[in-house]
Structure 1
Amino acid sequence: MPIPDSRFPIPAVHLSYGLPRAGLPAAASFRRWAEAALRGAKRRRPAELSIRLVDAEEGRELNRAYRGKDYATNVLSFPAELPPGVKLPLIGDLAICAPVVAREAAEQGKPARHHWAHLTVHGVLHLLGYDHIVEAEAEAMEALETRILAGLGIADPYTLPQDV
């Protein structure tokens, strides 16, 4: 659990479900992971975001509508686009596809909870403007994710477990 630090306001994280909650991380976990991402990115202003946990059908519909890709992906980020002069703490919305997260965690041989944490951190960083299209930016974003996750006791998500 991160140590409280008055320099970093606790974010408002709104969670909604497009599928049954059974087997999904608790709302407190998503808040903790989002807070770790905001601290890691050194955001000192208040932040508010929504996270929607979706099934494969909704994930596919969202990915098709917003990215033109006809499959469910792990996380989609929708940064807030506020009108000029509007000063709200909204940073945006995330949609995380539970079946894709579960499948990827199993394929990568990592605990599902760690993958949920990674994708939450990854998505929050996208909301803050981080990206991975250009290689140099991808390296910087991955290094930041790795550092944030290490602070949560989670191994480097970009290093797959080795067979022993």
Structure 2
Amino acid sequence: MAQALSVDVLVQSQQWSALEGVESLVERAAAAALARGSVQVLNGAELSVALSDDAAVRQLNAQWRGLDKPTNVLSFPAAEADELADAPHVGDIVLAFETVAREARDDGKTLADHTSHLVIHGLLHLLGFDHETDAEAEAMEAIEIAALSDLGIADPYADLELET
């Protein structure tokens, strides 16, 4: 039986209304990440996703990471990765609309595809994945690529590899 997350999407910025069906998009992306992440979580555990703006994310980034600037996605784990099988809450993900939209536009991606990628990326952090080393980054990117492929979304790193 497949694991399931209860995804609570909170639209904090009305700018996200530019993305029709954003709540279901977030739910599908989270399910794809969970399916590919190979980390056992409590069936029905909650994931909170806040669709916010640059100002709010900048404040959170300054408070929690000491970086006084907005970023595309922040992840706040509610439990350690080895405790997720018994944790009722996986954690929180916060996305900044202006940054996400700008990156999508600059990279020639749709807002929907880039948002899906960032939800997957954020959830993988909550599941214990990271990209501090090259090996960690390769492993995390491989899971992201597979989860995005499951959603019919192209490899977001393909163009980056061609540029180097």
Alignment partner, residue 34 of structure 2: 38
Correspondence 1:122-161 to 2 at 5 A = 122-160=121-159
Counterpart residue type for residue 5 of structure 2: P
Alignment partner, residue 11 of structure 1: 5
Instruction: Name the structure where helix makes up a greater proportion of residues.
Output: 2
Counterpart residue type for residue 19 of structure 1: S
Counterpart residue type for residue 114 of structure 1: D
Counterpart residue type for residue 72 of structure 1: P
Contact residue 8 and residue 43 of structure 1 kept, 8 A: no
SS of 1:48's equivalent in the other structure is: strand
Higher relative contact order (CA 8 A, sep 6+): 2
Percent identity between the aligned chains?
Answer: 43
2:100 paired with 1:104: no
Q: By how many angstroms is 1:112 displaced?
A: 1.1
Q: By how many angstroms is 1:87 displaced?
A: 3.6
2:69 paired with 1:75: no
| Structure 2, unpaired ranges of 5+ | none
Alpha-carbon distance in 2 for matches of 1:136, 1:116: 25
Alpha-carbon distance in 1 for matches of 2:148, 2:18: 21
Alignment partner, residue 4 of structure 1: none
Contact residue 74 and residue 95 of structure 2 kept, 8 A: yes
Counterpart residue type for residue 4 of structure 2: I
Contact residue 8 and residue 44 of structure 1 kept, 8 A: no
Which one is further off, 151-160 or 17-26?
Answer: 17-26
TM (norm. structure 1) is 0.87
Paired residue for 1:66, among 45, 64, 67? 64
Q: By how many angstroms is 1:131 displaced?
A: 0.1
TM (norm. structure 2) is 0.87
Alpha-carbon distance in 1 for matches of 2:140, 2:147: 11
